[in-house]
Amino acid sequence: MNGGTRTWELLRGLEAYREAYEAHAEPPVYEEAPFPVRLQSQADLAARDPWRIEAWENPFARDGPASPFLVGEAMLAGEGSAGAPPLVPFLAAAGARLDGLRLLDGTLLLKIEQDGRAVQVRVTEEGPLLAGGGLRLYHDYGLELPMDIVRMQDLWSVSGGPAPRRGRGRWARNGNC
């Protein structure tokens, strides 16, 4: 999601988006989870076209996410893993933010943000993740997996872009994080 933060900067500055947000958005509802998981609403569907986002983001909030959940964004696939180290504490230690969006069809999208960079992950089996576990990542980039993801920089490299400059942490080995 290389352009996600730039997209959000542009959207939040557009008067037309601010007016559409005020006309359509509902207060967000969250499910019980170890990190914020917002439930997509019927009203959020109005954000898909023409804004190309999965849910309304408040353009007036300054402490919210650095990027929206983008529609159709190429993303990694993932599944929860009870055997992987817990994801939430790792991300907190690395200075990253984790947000979730539960789509109306039940799909869980995760967004990991750090220092103006973001990556989205479509999660298929989220049970172990929501129980405090880790995450196993998959992709179709032609790389041999499992590969070691032992630093946040490795995640950014696998997801298609350069790593943020600050923030250090460790990812578990063998594709788990």
Determine the average pLDDT of the residues in 38-51. Answer: 95
Q: What is the pLDDT of residue 152?
A: 56
From the number of C-beta atoms within 10 Å of its C-beta (0-12, 13-18, 19+), residue 28 rates as middle
How does DSSP assign 28-89, residue by residue? -EEESSSS-EEEP-GGGGGGTTTT-BSS---TT-SSS-SS--BTT---EEEEEETTSPPHHH
Q: What is the pLDDT of residue 84?
A: 85
Residue written as token pair 């990694």? 76
- The 8-class DSSP code of residue 176 comes to B
Q: Is residue 102 predicted with pLDDT exceeding 60? A: yes
Choose the weakest-confidence range: 24-33, 56-65, 116-125, 140-149: 140-149
Choose the weakest-confidence range: 5-9, 59-63, 71-75, 134-138: 71-75
Q: Is residue 25 predicted with pLDDT exceeding 90? A: yes
Q: How many CB atoms lie within 10 A of CB 14?
A: 13
Q: What is the pLDDT of residue 161?
A: 54
Q: Tell me which H or E stretch contains 15.
A: helix 15-24
Question: 11 with 53: CB under 8 angstroms?
Answer: yes
C-alpha Rg value of the chain to the nearest Å: 16
For residue 165, give the 3-state DSSP assignment: coil
* pLDDT tens digits along 128-168: 999 999 888 876 665 555 444 445 555 656 555 555 554 44
- The more confident residue out of 146 and 49 is 49
pLDDT tier, 38 (very low <50, low <70, confident <90, very high otherwise): very high
Q: What is the pLDDT of residue 173?
A: 36
The two structure tokens encoding residue 36: 């914020």
- The 8-class DSSP code of residue 119 comes to E
What pTM does this model have? 0.78
Domains of the chain by residue range: 76-159
* Pairing label, strands 117-123, 76-81: parallel
For residue 4, give the 3-state DSSP assignment: helix
